[in-house]
Amino acid sequence: MFYTSTRNNSIKITASQAILKGLSDEGGLFVPEEFPKLSVDLETLADMSYKEVAYIVMKDFLSDFTEEELKYCIDNAYDSKFDTEEIAPLVEAEGTYYLELFHGKTIAFKDMALSILPYLLTTAAKKNDFHKEIVILTATSGDTGKAALAGFADVKGTRIMVFYPKGGVSKIQELQMLTQQEKNTCVYGVKGNFDDCQTAVKELFNDEALKKEMDEKGFAFSSANSINIGRLVPQVAYYVYAYAKLVKEDRILPGEKINFCVPTGNFGNILAGFYAKNMGLPINKLICASNENKVLFDFFKTGEYDKNRDFVLTKSPSMDILISSNLERLIYLLMDRDSSKLASLMKSLKENGSYNVKKELEAFNDTFVGEYSDWSDSSKKIHDLYEDTGYVIDTHTAVAAAALDKYVHDTKDHTKTVVVSTASPFKFGPAVMSAIDKKYEGKDALKLLDELSKIANVEKPNAIKEILSLPIKAENVCEIKEMKACLKKELNMNN
Ligand SMILES: *Cc1c(COP(=O)(O)O)cnc(C)c1O
């Protein structure tokens, strides 16, 4: 299995090289040259543990890792850092299945990939005889930052630097990041929104002069954002695992098609679902749920991607994104893997903020559907689901759950559906609690967590206990244009 770049398909590198590099030199994303097929049948998968399924899914994408290497990565990632041995439990409520991906260290789905990425990356470095210190640069809309910090904390040979939009993340998300203690970690609040952060980080990656200077000082960049294929591949596993679980519990017959509804921002999670479908997993629809920043909803409806609109700060901040990076990987397939066509669309996105693929998009209409839900519908969903079943979902999962209701209402498609549940409600406690009952409005975020624990009948996760006990390491704030200088300062590159 080899990887090529969406913007230059004469490139051909191994999986471990793609993971080390993160982003291709000309700015493209690495993609597998073809999709492997699931090597084990669905009945057999049904009896496997999460780790076993992860191995089956990942081994053919990461074919230059030995069995021993990959199993070492998987065993160390999906261990007692997760608060349940199931790793990704499936919960039924009102006929819908919620795939809970928030049982890892930082209680968001980013842990599913970021608890394994450091192992994949350090293994890849060894395999390629790569001895530079790896500098992980990360732009975060809130959850990736903490998950990456936790994943790379104290990992030898790595440093991690996280940029988040100051004022654009939840209080708990911010505290989680600021209380990361390890010496190889640092965090900056940036005066701008997530798109500004992500664009600036991509520019640093492509800054040839900076790269050269870093190289001379013994540093090399990599990425923990979902532009790194090492994040995408582990995410394919939980789609297969969810399906296998439904088979095991006799909820579906092996081969029966199901829908997934995914709260979407950077398009990484749902793209992993599409990769699973391409491996042969019986998926009918992938419902792409957006919040008020509904650029993807409009895209799937019209074929026009247009980011020229106001950026809205919402109650689901991890989905507050107007430039969905991973969509590039889908568009590449849509263009029949023609990297020059793809490159010209991305040029148009950069220069005009838009591009149009209406004609080609028809080919994907039977798989992708765009939906969206604003806070009034999402908060009602949190409220109603709690009232009816006692189950509490977070603000991002609520966007998907409410969007699914709209979809079913409009289409009468009653295919069994898994809602991908991306964060613990504790991470967005105040918004969740005020949706459940107005009397909680305006109350202190940290105090509300005890109350949430009581009404949901769920113990406070360790990630929450930690922010209550750990000191803030440092509070750094910078302008977008200062990010490069901050990086150099942190790496002691000025002397
Ligand atoms: C990152 C994130 C999303 C969006 O996922 P993408 O892969 O960026 O589409 C949704 N919900 C939560 C809680 C997240 O942290």
Task: Average the pLDDT over 307-333 and give the result.
Answer: 95
Report the pLDDT value the prediction gives residue 133, as an integer from 0 to 100.
Answer: 96
Task: Classify burial at 322, counting beta carbons within 10 Å of its beta carbon; exposed 0-12, middle 13-18, buried 19 or more.
Answer: buried
CA separation for the pair 376, 373 (Å, rounded): 8
Report the pLDDT value the prediction gives residue 468, as an integer from 0 to 100.
Answer: 86
Residue 287 sits at the vertex; the CA angle it makes with 333 and 277, to the nearest 5 degrees, is 50
Confidence of residue 170 (pLDDT cuts 50, 70, 90): confident
Sequence letter at residue 307: K
State yes or no: pLDDT of 495 exceeds 70.
no
- 98's CB contacts (< 8 A; 6+ apart) are 90, 91, 92, 391, 393, 397, 401, 418, 419, 421
Task: Average the pLDDT over 15-21 and give the result.
Answer: 96
- Pairing mode, strands 283-290 and 258-263: parallel
Minimum mean pLDDT range among 49-53, 387-391, 438-442, 465-469: 465-469
Q: What percent of the chain has pLDDT over 70?
A: 100
CA separation for the pair 201, 146 (Å, rounded): 17
Q: How many CB atoms lie within 10 A of CB 234?
A: 25
Exposure class string for 93-122: b at 16+ Cβ within 10 A, else e: beebbbbbbbbbbbbbbbbbbbbbbbbbbb
**Looking up tokens 């790379």, which residue turns up?**
152
Question: What are 424-436's pLDDT values in tens digits?
Answer: 999 999 999 999 9
- Whether 319 lines ligand 1, by a CB cut-off of 6 Å, is yes
- Whether 115 lines ligand 1, by a CB cut-off of 6 Å, is no
| Span from the CA of 393 to the centroid of ligand 1 (angstroms) | 14
Q: List the domains of the chain with CATH numbers.
A: 90-108+230-462 (3.40.50.1100)
Report the pLDDT value the prediction gives residue 453, as an integer from 0 to 100.
Answer: 96
Helix, strand, coil share (%) of the chain residues, nearest 5: 50, 15, 35
Question: What are 127-149's pLDDT values in tens digits?
Answer: 999 999 999 999 998 899 999 99
| Span from the CA of 226 to the centroid of ligand 1 (angstroms) | 10
Catalytic residue (one of 110, 166, 307, 315): 110
Give the residue, out of 261, 294, 314, 319, with the most ligand 1 atoms within 8 A of its beta carbon, to mutate for a pocket test.
Answer: 319
Closest listed residue to residue 448, CA positions, set 437, 386, 179, 382: 437
- 84's CB contacts (< 8 A; 6+ apart) are 103
DSSP 117-152: HHHHHHHHHHHTT--SEEEEEEE-SSHHHHHHHHHH
Ligand 1, residue 141: give the atom nearest the CA: 1
Residue 489 sits at the vertex; the CA angle it makes with 488 and 492, to the nearest 5 degrees, is 85
Q: How far apart are the first and last CA of the chain?
A: 43
| Span from the CA of 212 to the centroid of ligand 1 (angstroms) | 33
Report the pLDDT value the prediction gives residue 56, as an integer from 0 to 100.
Answer: 98
Radius of gyration from C-alpha coordinates of the chain: 21
- Whether 269 lines ligand 1, by a CB cut-off of 6 Å, is yes
| Span from the CA of 295 to the centroid of ligand 1 (angstroms) | 15
- Pairing mode, strands 283-290 and 185-191: unpaired
Question: What are 392-409's pLDDT values in tens digits?
Answer: 999 999 999 999 999 999
- Between 171 and 316, the more confident residue is 316
State yes or no: pLDDT of 45 exceeds 70.
yes
Verdict on whether the full-model pTM lies above 0.85: yes
Report the pLDDT value the prediction gives residue 160, as an integer from 0 to 100.
Answer: 97
State yes or no: pLDDT of 116 exceeds 90.
yes
Q: Is 202 a catalytic residue?
A: no
Ligand 1, residue 423: give the atom nearest the CA: 13
Sequence letter at residue 168: G
Confidence of residue 446 (pLDDT cuts 50, 70, 90): confident
Report the pLDDT value the prediction gives residue 166, as an integer from 0 to 100.
Answer: 96
Question: What are 212-240's pLDDT values in tens digits?
Answer: 999 999 999 998 988 899 999 999 999 99
Residue 493, phi then psi, degrees to nearest 5: -95, 0
Give the residue, out of 422, 426, 428, with the most ligand 1 atoms within 8 A of its beta carbon, to mutate for a pocket test.
Answer: 422
